[in-house]
Amino acid sequence: MNTHNSDSITVRLIKDNDIDGLIALYEEVWPDVDYDKKAKANFVLKESNGINYCAEYNNKIVGSRTSFYINAYIGSRKLRCIHIGDSCVTKECRGKGLFQNMNKHLLADFFIDGDLIYNISVAKSRISYEKLGWVYIKSLESIFKILNPIRTLLKIKFDIRKLSGSRIWDKKQTIISIPQNLIDERERIFREANLIHINYDLNTIAWRQKTYSGIKSFTTSSGLIIYKIGTIKNCGLTVVEIGEMFLSSYDKKCFKNALSEFVKNIKPDVIQTNVCHNHPLYKYYRRCNFINNPKHKYLHHGVRVNSDEMRELCLNPANWGISALDIDTF
């Protein structure tokens, strides 16, 4: 599909000259969200490689639906997959069906030959996705560990709910170079486990860094950790989010060594991550006393497929092995 008109609102594919309109849209819809709106718009236009729609009213962009083709596999089988994110509609145009309309256009385009769409959504948009055929599965857990209990308890005044406060992430980005042996070992483990995962080959890692979200890497004696660092706004604690760990060996000793070296050098108060229950490292996080987020155990992990084969494979939570690095908001 290309364009659709309803009540003078046009739904169409995003074009290269839409950058100013997208920046204005993001600034209007997300004025308090801590990221560079211009960098986000540039990424959508130049690097997203997905199917991107917008809604236009009186020559103003009033909504967007963006997506990213992603290097997804189930086991050793390549999937034609997109990850969707950054759906938004201005306040003045909500309630007019634009969210549904833009998504319907994307679905019609993608499922000509596509296999899988996945996303992590906010709770209030879940019903709208479900009306369009999305299924939400309990697969991706939010877990964390307090590393400095006394300082943390004093900072949050013994109210653990404050740990769920908004994060202010350091936007300084380091160039990530993952040794080929670590890439190969991770991919071997995921393929043997026959899990849905993202294959972070050199091209995918290079593309992932173009999101300019402040991702960093730390090299240990047993691997490499991709992470972000920031503060929890309402209490000032230092928080680290681990995106993924690339290890020389996927065993408890290697995991603990990597995590210990990381903590000793970075010195966070709190470590958090999102990881599927069947991810090869999940059990090691648990053995290192990571616990579930008290506000929500599972993220809203939405899955949209269009064939019986993909339903059988992708709607089973046990088949998923994604982590925080595989989410657009990381």
Residue ranges per domain, the chain?
3-114, 140-326
Closest CA to 118 of 74, 151, 155, 158: 74
Strand, coil or helix: 199: coil
Calculate the alpha carbon distances from 282 to 25, 140, 274, 328 in Å.
38, 10, 10, 20
The CB-side HSE value for 224 (13 A sphere, CA atoms) comes to 17
- Give one word for 223, left, alpha or beta, with left for phi > 0 and alpha for psi -120 to 50: left
Q: Which pLDDT value is given to residue 153?
A: 86
- Is 3-114's fold the same as 140-326's? yes
User: Phi/psi of residue 300, each to 5°?
Assistant: -80, 85
Cβ atoms of 113 and 80 closer than 8 Å: yes
The residues near 157 (Cβ < 8 Å, ≥ 6 apart) are: none
Token pair of 154, please?
A: 């004093």
pLDDT by position in tens, the chain (length 330): 555 555 688 999 999 999 999 999 999 998 877 678 888 888 888 888 899 999 999 999 999 999 999 999 999 999 999 999 888 999 989 888 999 999 999 999 999 999 999 999 988 899 999 999 999 999 999 999 999 888 888 888 877 777 878 888 998 888 889 999 999 999 999 999 999 999 999 999 999 888 768 899 999 999 999 999 999 888 889 999 999 999 999 999 999 999 999 999 999 999 999 999 999 999 999 999 999 987 889 999 999 999 999 999 999 999 999 999 999 888
The class level of CATH for 3-114 reads: alpha beta
Output the pLDDT for position 211: 75
Angle between helices 37-46 and 19-29 (to 10 degrees): 130
98/96 Cα distance (integer angstroms): 6
DSSP three-state, residue 156: coil
Q: At 112, list the tokens.
A: 């000509």
The pLDDT of residue 118 = 97
Which whole-number Å values give the CA distances from 102 to 3, 44, 98, 243, 269, in the listed order?
10, 16, 6, 30, 41
What count of other Cβ atoms lies within 10 Å of the Cβ of residue 42?
17
Most distant CA pair in the chain, distance:
62
| CA neighbor of 319 nearest in space, from 306, 301, 300 | 301
Instruction: Tell me the residue type at 311.
Output: R
Secondary element (H or E) of residue 300: strand 300-305
Do residues 115 and 310 touch, judged by C-beta distance below 8 A? Answer: yes
Distance between CA atoms of residues 198 and 279, nearest Å: 12
Q: In the CATH scheme, what architecture does the domain 140-326 have?
A: 3-Layer(aba) Sandwich (3.40)
Residue with tokens 């490499």: 224
pTM over 0.85: yes
